[in-house]
Amino acid sequence: MSTPLLTTKLYIPPIRSELVRRSRLLEHLDQGLDRKLTLVSAPAGFGKTTLLCAWIASLEPSKRAAWLALDEEDNDPARFWTYLIAALQTVHATLGESALALLQAPQPPGAQAILTPLLNEISARPQVVILVLDDYHLISTRAIHEGIAFLLDHQPRNMHVAISTRVDPPLPMSRLRVRGQLTELRASDLRFTPAEAATFLNQLMGL
């Protein structure tokens, strides 16, 4: 990929000051860190991105988060993996250099060849790395889904993946669920409880 990267895709969105703290959901996300994947799946407007931003802000310093805001142009595999590595490099600046070299070849190899050295590098790092893929529903390329499935199958113990999406992705969800490696938050979880609604209306809206 020779075009410059849009670095704003790698920024964690700022948290609004008028945010209702949702402790029950943050605790649920914390408990899922020992699993491979966190899936936040709900229609537009349910606060998926806001929740993940608040969660990242609450993490202790030993856990570092890499953020990638996806769009439809990221359906090109070379572009997708380049941006994914760039996101991880916001946590560790030299991470994935050998994988990037493979991507810049005239005929880039498949996802497994790119991800293998990358996952080995992550495994050798002492910190916990959380990779957030925001708006994953915009990805429709089968080769990318297969690459993410490979990543999840061979994920280092010090890595966690969080995906926000409007529809469930074509990933091995059933296998992860059966093995206890999946944390899920759905629309029913993201809806305000009566107490959260009261906080929003009374304290934030001043009603």
Burial 103-115 (b: 16+ CB within 10 A, else e): beeeebeebeebb
pLDDT at residue 157 in the model: 95
Q: Which DSSP category does 90 fall into?
A: T
Tokens representing residue 14 in the block: 């700022």
Q: Which DSSP category does 202 fall into?
A: I
Residue 140: CB atoms within 10 A of its CB come to 11
Amino acid at 67: W
Q: Average pLDDT in the 6-35 region?
A: 88
Q: Which residue has the higher pLDDT, 200 or 41?
A: 41
Dump pLDDT digits (tens) for 34-85. Answer: 999 999 999 999 999 999 999 999 999 889 999 999 999 999 999 999 999 9
pLDDT at residue 34 in the model: 94
Q: Which DSSP category does 19 fall into?
A: P
Dump pLDDT digits (tens) for 134-164. Answer: 999 999 999 999 999 999 999 999 999 999 9
Q: Which DSSP category does 12 fall into?
A: P
pLDDT at residue 182 in the model: 98
| C-alpha to C-alpha distance for 81 and 158, rounded to whole angstroms | 20
Indicate whether this model's pTM tops 0.85: yes
pLDDT at residue 20 in the model: 65
Strands 182-185 and 159-165: unpaired
- Sequence-distant (≥ 6) Cβ neighbours of residue 114 within 8 angstroms: 81, 99, 102, 103, 108, 147
Categorize the per-residue pLDDT at 197 as very low, low, confident or very high, splitting at 50, 70 and 90.
low
Question: Nearest CA to 136 among 145, 124, 146, 127?
Answer: 145
- Sequence-distant (≥ 6) Cβ neighbours of residue 100 within 8 angstroms: 82, 85
